[in-house]
Structure 1
Amino acid sequence: MAIDHTSISVPEDKFKECVALYVKALEPLGYEIAYQFGEYTVGLGSKLDARDNYKAADFWAIGTKESGGKAHVAFRVSDRAVVDAFHAAAILGGGQDNGAPGVRAHYHPNYYAAFVLDAAGNNIEVVCHNP
Protein backbone atom coordinates (compact mmCIF):
# COMPACT_ATOMS: atom_id res chain seq x y z
CA MET A 1 0.00 0.00 0.00
CA ALA A 2 1.20 3.52 -0.78
CA ILE A 3 -0.10 7.06 -0.58
CA ASP A 4 -1.86 7.95 -3.84
CA HIS A 5 -1.84 11.72 -3.43
CA THR A 6 -1.59 14.55 -0.91
CA SER A 7 -3.21 17.96 -0.95
CA ILE A 8 -2.48 21.05 1.07
CA SER A 9 -4.54 24.18 1.53
CA VAL A 10 -3.04 27.58 0.86
CA PRO A 11 -4.77 30.94 1.07
CA GLU A 12 -5.85 32.27 -2.31
CA ASP A 13 -3.83 35.47 -1.80
CA LYS A 14 -0.63 33.38 -1.53
CA PHE A 15 -1.59 30.67 -4.03
CA LYS A 16 0.53 31.78 -7.00
CA GLU A 17 3.56 32.35 -4.78
CA CYS A 18 3.23 28.92 -3.17
CA VAL A 19 2.72 27.10 -6.49
CA ALA A 20 5.76 28.87 -7.97
CA LEU A 21 7.81 27.56 -5.03
CA TYR A 22 6.49 24.01 -5.44
CA VAL A 23 7.29 23.98 -9.16
CA LYS A 24 10.85 25.22 -8.57
CA ALA A 25 11.57 23.13 -5.47
CA LEU A 26 10.17 19.86 -6.81
CA GLU A 27 11.76 20.11 -10.26
CA PRO A 28 14.85 18.13 -9.07
CA LEU A 29 12.42 15.32 -8.16
CA GLY A 30 10.99 15.26 -11.69
CA TYR A 31 7.75 17.06 -10.77
CA GLU A 32 5.90 19.54 -12.93
CA ILE A 33 2.36 20.87 -13.15
CA ALA A 34 0.30 17.96 -14.44
CA TYR A 35 -3.17 19.46 -13.98
CA GLN A 36 -4.78 22.79 -13.24
CA PHE A 37 -8.49 23.18 -12.58
CA GLY A 38 -9.63 26.76 -12.38
CA GLU A 39 -7.52 29.39 -10.71
CA TYR A 40 -6.91 27.67 -7.36
CA THR A 41 -6.37 23.94 -7.90
CA VAL A 42 -3.02 22.65 -9.17
CA GLY A 43 -1.75 19.07 -9.24
CA LEU A 44 1.96 18.38 -9.56
CA GLY A 45 3.46 15.04 -10.44
CA SER A 46 5.43 12.99 -12.91
CA LYS A 47 5.42 13.78 -16.59
CA LEU A 48 3.69 10.52 -17.48
CA ASP A 49 2.70 7.48 -15.52
CA ALA A 50 4.20 4.69 -17.62
CA ARG A 51 1.79 2.05 -16.34
CA ASP A 52 -1.46 3.77 -17.17
CA ASN A 53 -0.36 6.26 -19.84
CA TYR A 54 -1.77 9.36 -18.13
CA LYS A 55 -0.23 12.25 -16.27
CA ALA A 56 0.03 11.43 -12.59
CA ALA A 57 -0.43 14.15 -9.97
CA ASP A 58 0.21 13.16 -6.38
CA PHE A 59 0.81 16.58 -4.79
CA TRP A 60 -2.09 19.02 -4.97
CA ALA A 61 -2.36 22.65 -3.87
CA ILE A 62 -5.90 23.85 -3.19
CA GLY A 63 -6.63 27.54 -2.70
CA THR A 64 -8.89 28.52 0.20
CA LYS A 65 -10.38 31.77 1.39
CA GLU A 66 -9.24 30.90 4.92
CA SER A 67 -5.70 31.44 6.15
CA GLY A 68 -4.63 27.98 4.97
CA GLY A 69 -3.36 24.96 6.82
CA LYS A 70 0.00 24.21 8.26
CA ALA A 71 0.58 20.91 6.52
CA HIS A 72 3.74 18.82 6.47
CA VAL A 73 4.45 16.84 3.32
CA ALA A 74 7.54 14.63 2.89
CA PHE A 75 8.75 13.34 -0.47
CA ARG A 76 10.95 10.23 -0.38
CA VAL A 77 13.94 10.04 -2.74
CA SER A 78 16.74 7.49 -3.07
CA ASP A 79 19.69 9.90 -3.44
CA ARG A 80 20.96 12.49 -0.96
CA ALA A 81 22.03 14.75 -3.82
CA VAL A 82 18.34 15.17 -4.71
CA VAL A 83 17.66 16.35 -1.15
CA ASP A 84 20.40 18.96 -1.58
CA ALA A 85 19.06 20.01 -5.00
CA PHE A 86 15.53 20.34 -3.63
CA HIS A 87 16.66 22.61 -0.78
CA ALA A 88 18.75 24.85 -3.06
CA ALA A 89 15.95 25.11 -5.63
CA ALA A 90 13.34 25.81 -2.95
CA ILE A 91 15.37 28.66 -1.46
CA LEU A 92 15.89 30.13 -4.95
CA GLY A 93 12.16 29.75 -5.54
CA GLY A 94 11.27 31.82 -2.49
CA GLY A 95 10.99 29.17 0.21
CA GLN A 96 12.08 29.83 3.78
CA ASP A 97 14.71 27.49 5.19
CA ASN A 98 13.23 25.27 7.89
CA GLY A 99 16.13 22.80 8.13
CA ALA A 100 19.15 22.60 5.83
CA PRO A 101 20.10 19.25 4.26
CA GLY A 102 21.59 16.92 6.81
CA VAL A 103 21.28 13.76 8.86
CA ARG A 104 18.56 13.68 11.51
CA ALA A 105 19.94 10.79 13.57
CA HIS A 106 17.19 11.21 16.18
CA TYR A 107 14.83 9.65 13.57
CA HIS A 108 17.32 7.00 12.43
CA PRO A 109 21.03 6.96 11.46
CA ASN A 110 20.40 7.37 7.70
CA TYR A 111 17.56 9.93 7.81
CA TYR A 112 18.91 12.65 5.50
CA ALA A 113 16.41 15.45 4.92
CA ALA A 114 15.82 19.12 4.19
CA PHE A 115 12.81 21.28 5.04
CA VAL A 116 11.38 24.53 3.65
CA LEU A 117 8.31 26.59 4.46
CA ASP A 118 6.11 28.03 1.74
CA ALA A 119 4.46 31.46 1.98
CA ALA A 120 1.47 29.90 3.77
CA GLY A 121 3.63 28.21 6.43
CA ASN A 122 3.34 24.66 5.05
CA ASN A 123 6.42 22.54 5.74
CA ILE A 124 7.73 20.73 2.65
CA GLU A 125 10.37 18.03 3.23
CA VAL A 126 12.45 15.80 1.00
CA VAL A 127 14.02 12.78 2.71
CA CYS A 128 16.46 10.02 1.76
CA HIS A 129 16.61 6.95 4.02
CA ASN A 130 19.68 5.44 2.31
CA PRO A 131 23.20 5.69 3.72
Structure 2
Amino acid sequence: MAIDHTTIIVPEDKFRECLALYVKALEPLGYRVVYEFGENIVGLGSEFDTVENYKVADFWLFGAKESTKAHVAFRAENRSLVDAFHAAAMLSGGQDNGAPGVRAHYHANYYAAYVHDAAGNNIEVVCHKP
Protein backbone atom coordinates (compact mmCIF):
# COMPACT_ATOMS: atom_id res chain seq x y z
CA MET A 1 0.00 0.00 0.00
CA ALA A 2 0.99 3.59 -0.55
CA ILE A 3 -0.48 7.00 0.11
CA ASP A 4 -2.63 8.00 -2.85
CA HIS A 5 -2.75 11.74 -2.24
CA THR A 6 -2.35 14.43 0.39
CA THR A 7 -4.35 17.64 0.79
CA ILE A 8 -3.27 20.77 2.58
CA ILE A 9 -5.91 23.34 3.45
CA VAL A 10 -4.73 26.96 3.62
CA PRO A 11 -6.60 30.22 4.23
CA GLU A 12 -8.20 31.56 1.04
CA ASP A 13 -6.26 34.82 1.35
CA LYS A 14 -2.94 32.89 1.41
CA PHE A 15 -3.86 30.40 -1.33
CA ARG A 16 -1.98 31.99 -4.27
CA GLU A 17 1.08 32.70 -2.14
CA CYS A 18 1.18 29.10 -0.89
CA LEU A 19 0.57 27.72 -4.39
CA ALA A 20 3.47 29.75 -5.81
CA LEU A 21 5.76 28.31 -3.13
CA TYR A 22 4.73 24.70 -3.81
CA VAL A 23 4.99 25.04 -7.59
CA LYS A 24 8.56 26.37 -7.36
CA ALA A 25 9.78 24.30 -4.41
CA LEU A 26 8.47 20.98 -5.74
CA GLU A 27 9.61 21.55 -9.33
CA PRO A 28 13.01 19.90 -8.67
CA LEU A 29 11.09 16.77 -7.61
CA GLY A 30 9.20 16.63 -10.91
CA TYR A 31 5.94 18.18 -9.68
CA ARG A 32 3.79 20.56 -11.65
CA VAL A 33 0.16 21.68 -11.68
CA VAL A 34 -1.90 18.93 -13.34
CA TYR A 35 -5.44 19.94 -12.26
CA GLU A 36 -7.21 23.16 -11.30
CA PHE A 37 -10.80 23.28 -10.12
CA GLY A 38 -12.18 26.74 -9.56
CA GLU A 39 -10.12 29.42 -7.86
CA ASN A 40 -8.95 27.54 -4.76
CA ILE A 41 -8.33 23.87 -5.62
CA VAL A 42 -5.13 22.78 -7.35
CA GLY A 43 -3.64 19.30 -7.76
CA LEU A 44 0.08 18.86 -8.33
CA GLY A 45 1.81 15.72 -9.53
CA SER A 46 4.39 14.36 -11.90
CA GLU A 47 3.73 14.36 -15.60
CA PHE A 48 5.13 10.83 -15.59
CA ASP A 49 2.58 9.42 -13.13
CA THR A 50 -0.53 8.19 -14.87
CA VAL A 51 -3.22 5.67 -14.05
CA GLU A 52 -5.11 4.30 -17.04
CA ASN A 53 -4.16 7.40 -19.08
CA TYR A 54 -5.26 9.86 -16.37
CA LYS A 55 -2.71 12.23 -14.89
CA VAL A 56 -2.26 11.66 -11.18
CA ALA A 57 -2.20 14.55 -8.73
CA ASP A 58 -0.97 13.27 -5.40
CA PHE A 59 -0.56 16.63 -3.67
CA TRP A 60 -3.58 18.93 -3.42
CA LEU A 61 -3.90 22.47 -2.14
CA PHE A 62 -7.34 23.79 -1.08
CA GLY A 63 -8.13 27.34 -0.08
CA ALA A 64 -10.77 27.57 2.67
CA LYS A 65 -12.14 30.04 5.18
CA GLU A 66 -10.63 27.97 8.02
CA SER A 67 -7.48 25.90 7.85
CA THR A 68 -5.34 23.61 9.99
CA LYS A 69 -1.58 23.11 10.10
CA ALA A 70 -0.15 20.07 8.37
CA HIS A 71 3.14 18.26 7.91
CA VAL A 72 3.86 16.58 4.59
CA ALA A 73 7.07 14.79 3.62
CA PHE A 74 8.04 14.13 0.01
CA ARG A 75 10.62 11.43 -0.75
CA ALA A 76 13.57 12.40 -2.94
CA GLU A 77 15.83 10.02 -4.83
CA ASN A 78 19.02 11.84 -3.84
CA ARG A 79 20.32 14.53 -1.52
CA SER A 80 20.83 17.10 -4.25
CA LEU A 81 17.05 17.14 -4.77
CA VAL A 82 16.57 17.91 -1.07
CA ASP A 83 18.99 20.81 -1.48
CA ALA A 84 17.23 22.01 -4.65
CA PHE A 85 13.83 21.91 -2.91
CA HIS A 86 15.10 24.00 -0.01
CA ALA A 87 16.79 26.57 -2.26
CA ALA A 88 13.72 26.91 -4.49
CA ALA A 89 11.44 27.23 -1.46
CA MET A 90 13.60 29.97 0.07
CA LEU A 91 13.62 31.90 -3.22
CA SER A 92 9.84 31.67 -3.53
CA GLY A 93 8.87 32.93 -0.09
CA GLY A 94 9.14 29.87 2.15
CA GLN A 95 10.36 30.23 5.71
CA ASP A 96 13.23 28.01 6.76
CA ASN A 97 12.27 25.39 9.33
CA GLY A 98 15.42 23.28 8.99
CA ALA A 99 18.17 23.58 6.38
CA PRO A 100 19.25 20.49 4.42
CA GLY A 101 21.17 18.06 6.56
CA VAL A 102 21.35 14.65 8.18
CA ARG A 103 18.85 13.98 10.98
CA ALA A 104 20.69 11.05 12.59
CA HIS A 105 18.12 10.85 15.41
CA TYR A 106 15.76 9.32 12.78
CA HIS A 107 18.42 7.15 11.13
CA ALA A 108 21.98 7.49 9.84
CA ASN A 109 20.99 8.40 6.26
CA TYR A 110 17.93 10.58 6.96
CA TYR A 111 18.79 13.70 4.94
CA ALA A 112 16.00 16.28 4.99
CA ALA A 113 15.03 19.94 4.74
CA TYR A 114 11.96 21.67 6.17
CA VAL A 115 10.06 24.77 5.08
CA HIS A 116 6.98 26.56 6.38
CA ASP A 117 4.55 27.95 3.81
CA ALA A 118 2.70 31.24 4.32
CA ALA A 119 -0.01 29.43 6.27
CA GLY A 120 2.46 27.74 8.66
CA ASN A 121 2.34 24.24 7.17
CA ASN A 122 5.58 22.29 7.57
CA ILE A 123 6.79 20.79 4.28
CA GLU A 124 9.69 18.34 4.27
CA VAL A 125 11.70 16.66 1.54
CA VAL A 126 13.72 13.64 2.65
CA CYS A 127 16.23 11.26 1.09
CA HIS A 128 16.84 7.97 2.93
CA LYS A 129 19.91 7.05 0.88
CA PRO A 130 23.54 7.71 1.83
SS at match of 2:108: coil
Per-residue Cα deviation, 1:69-101 (whole angstroms, up to 9, x for no partner): 110000011100000000000001110000000
What pairs with 1:32-51 in structure 2 (closer than 5 Å)?
Answer: 32-50=32-50
What residue in structure 1 maps to residue 77 of structure 2? 78
What residue in structure 2 maps to residue 102 of structure 1? 101
TM-align CA RMSD: 0.9
Is the Cα contact below 8 Å between 1:103 and 1:109 reproduced in 2?
A: yes
Identity of aligned residues (%): 75
Is the Cα contact below 8 Å between 1:110 and 1:130 reproduced in 2?
A: yes
Whole-Å separation in 2 of the counterparts to 1:57 and 1:82:
20
Whole-Å separation in 2 of the counterparts to 1:45 and 1:26:
9
Moved >4 Å (runs of 4+) = none
TM-score by length of 2: 0.97
Is the Cα contact below 8 Å between 1:48 and 1:54 reproduced in 2?
A: no
5+ long unaligned stretches in structure 1: none
Whole-Å separation in 1 of the counterparts to 2:37 and 2:48:
18
Whole-Å separation in 2 of the counterparts to 1:91 and 1:49:
27
Deviation of the 1:54 alpha carbon: 1.9
Whole-Å separation in 2 of the counterparts to 1:9 and 1:95:
16
SS at match of 1:108: coil
- Paired letter, 1:24: K
TM-score by length of 1: 0.96
5+ long unaligned stretches in structure 2: none
